[in-house]
Structure 1
Amino acid sequence: MKYNSSIKSIAIGLPETYYTNNMPPFSTIPNLPKNWWRNWGMEGRYMIDKKKGESCSQLAMKASLGAIEKAGLSTQDIDMIIGTTCTITGWSDKDNDKIFPGISEHLKTELKCKHSVMTLEVNQACISFLVALQIASDYIKTGIYKNVLICSAETFTQIADFSLPSASLFGDGAAAVIIGRSKEDGKLVSSHYKSIPTHNEIATLQWRIPLYKTGKEFVRPYFSLGEDAPSQMQTFVPHNVPEVVFKALAKAEASIVDIDHFIFHQPSRMLIRMWAMGIGIKRDKYTTTVEEYSCLSSASIPMTLYIALKNKKIKPNNKIVLAGAGIGWGFGAQVWHTETINY
């Protein structure tokens, strides 16, 4: 028997402290290019404080518990957990160097889920949440699982090199959703993905020392953005997101006018505007969160979905599009028919 899948609930987890661009360590980043903030669009972000016990896993737990509660479920009702994080090292609140097992295994243990729960890690950078949604939906459609928890948690500030401008682009946060069997007409209507692995050098996570420091004691993973990355991105990122959106719409036999709202990944204000222009939609048809939260990598799309719901931009029986790009480079778009999403 086949089932439709729907997004049942969504919840978020944020650190306690908010940092504007005028506050250290962001105000002390050297050599910011002219118009840097205006082009990227970040005005502030949340950042964890390890002294307060904050961590990637702590944010993930907060979001996951919220999503389970809002779905009207208990932890014993969860059949599968999919975790996404780019904070490959340092996600744990107990061991800053923990890589394996992944955050999905951590959530299963801490949530005290049943032993039969399947866990899975997805790492397709900023579109990991979309990939996780596709996997969860496919499992539910085939009847293998009934309730899937997806948690995207990022503490990118912990892998940022604050001697480089790229450290200013990210914030910390988590978002979780429950995907379950549809009781109404909610479903993943269609999707389309593509990969262009020819620009890998533009943005990477690599082991090195900070640019202006020396000594082996500083060697750890740092996010690295190529000096010419912004202009390079503009040669292929702006048109590939509209392309996958149109292909997903074609599979759904839908057009732009049929879509009530668009949820994009939030890498920069400029790229989001380019995607909207390429698709042909006005500002009221999509939500932005990059200004307030900065880029949250894999947590960006679910965070923006949460804010759109909170602002009443998405209602039951709407058609919405989730779309974005991730370094690597992967592109994805999905068309969803919503039912009630508890938030």
Structure 2
Amino acid sequence: MSESYEQERTVAFEAVQAAATLTESVRESMGEVLKKDDRSPVTVADFGSQALICRALMETFPQDPVIAEEDSSALRNPDNTDVRDQVLEHVQAHHEAATPEGVYAWIDHGTAREYSDRFWTLDPIDGTKGFVRGDQYAIALALIENGIPQVAALCCPHLPPDLADDDPDTRGQAFLAVRGEGTLQRSLNQDTEPTPIHTSNTTEPSQSRFTESFVSSHSSHDLAVEVAERLGITADPFRLDSQAKYAAVATGNADIYLRLPRPGTDYTERIWDHAAGALVVEAAGGTVTDMHGSPLDFTHGRLLKQNTGIVATNGAVHQDVIDALEASTS
């Protein structure tokens, strides 16, 4: 990679890896799980991860807004003092002088909601259910300028380099992407320099392999099956939680990632669920659009209001997937 965005990529890459150290520490001794209004689980790791990453961004880029998933309101609730104390303990392992008010402030640095010409978006734990269940999750951070992700840091603490040969000793991968300059991958378990990666060279759709959400409520598995049949794909999909699916495409473990709206739902995708992963794929040579082939539009605050569904591919088979989707939904 060249010297463009040198400070941004250094801070982002170091921050997500530090957050992964915290989240894995939490995971080793899973504590109390809170519930959001939408009933999705939120853990000590969510708050601790966001605190560490937002602190790093505040320190180096204090003028940059951050659109993140969490805020400190649950921690401030007197009923949740045990959870607050756990968060503080884990954050203090990285910043010894951290105080409750300081941690609240760091977390709430991520409460921007409106679009601006330059901002960061963060999901401190993407795939919380996977985290709680002991499967895949990701820490996802992206810098967006003029509506386009330019720098992405994605950390997948339990992702093996080869999904077909899941050796527990090799789990843990971090990814750094800069638009137009490629994507790097680094093992969390080895003290090695990051190496460039590229999407697969599969050009025949029938030889492709899908990855899709582990939980069927997140995406229409039925529509994905129909698309696979139209393309002649027979291989079973890799089902993963979180933006680890984007990493699977970027590394060539999979060729196609589909996140498709379920019939009768009107869910609008959140930007923090896709910005980092999309750039990791695109910088590695792939293509990411919505299900109609339109680019993802990050100019509407927290939501991808102008997009429906997500299609990420190795690039070579992208139009085939879009055509199969159009035929399946027309």
Task: Tell me which interval the TM-score lies in, with the shorter structure as reference length.
Answer: 0.3 to 0.5
More strand by share: 1
| TM-score of the aligned structures, taking structure 1 as reference length | 0.31
Q: Which has the higher contact order (CA 8 A, sep 6+)?
A: 1
